[in-house]
Amino acid sequence: MCGRFTLTASGEELAEAFGLDEPPALAPRYNIAPTQPVAVVRVDPAGERRTWSLLRWGLLPRETAEPRRPLINARAETAWVTPAFKDAFARRRCLVPASGFYEWSGAGKKRQPWYFRLATGGPFAFAGLWEPPFDPVDPATVTLLTTEPNDLARKVHDRMPVILPPDAYARWLDPGAGTHAVLRPLLVPFPAGAMSVHPVATVVNDPRHDEPSCVTPAGLL
């Protein structure tokens, strides 16, 4: 699963990376946690213009009569047929910009947090699905797709978020590309050689800590 990530790129970097007309006005985030607002990139209904907005992390499927437990992750292998996700998979896909993400190894009180990012240090995109709110006054909600780990992530966890390469952004956002046959080839582990990882301090375990120290390399427990 993916339960924490960062977004520290500037608005200008994000506008360039994701083809946005205007730079998003976003403060650096070092410890984004479920139920918090996250930036997403979507396209207008015509599929012609990319926009950004803030959605709540934890998808609430509209296929149920009442809101249920927020779903922060969806398995890429089955999301297209899972009742909670299949409509969003077909109609409401988005990019979730990030600068890195955390996973934990070990068990009990000695779990070690690790910080994964691109080797270049630049921003990237998770594959996301979104749902409109049950109540119009609430924000829309979003979930992150996960897949099997690459060789780097496998050392820490048995799943990793789906990271889309830039040349896949247009296809993932395309309103007319909602079939499993078209989209499934995109939902694969990101190349391990294009990523880096280092251990960080357990300060990141508490989502109230949202500061640069969360990503600072630290010694192992």
Residues with a catalytic annotation lie at 2, 103
Cβ neighbours of residue 108 under 8 Å, at least 6 residues apart?
Answer: none
Q: What angle do CA 184, 188, 193 make, to 5 degrees?
A: 155
Q: In what order do the strands lie in the sheet with 5-7?
A: 29-32, 5-7, 100-105, 112-118, 195-199
Bridge-based pairing of strands 37-43 and 50-57 is antiparallel
Cβ neighbours around 78 below 10 Å, total: 11
Distance in angstroms (rounded) separating the CA atoms of residues 96 and 58: 13
Q: How far apart, in whole angstroms, are the C-alpha atoms of residue 8 and residue 13?
A: 10
d(CA 93, CA 82): 15
Q: Which SS3 state, helix, strand or coil, does residue 100 take?
A: strand
CA distance 15 to 9: 10
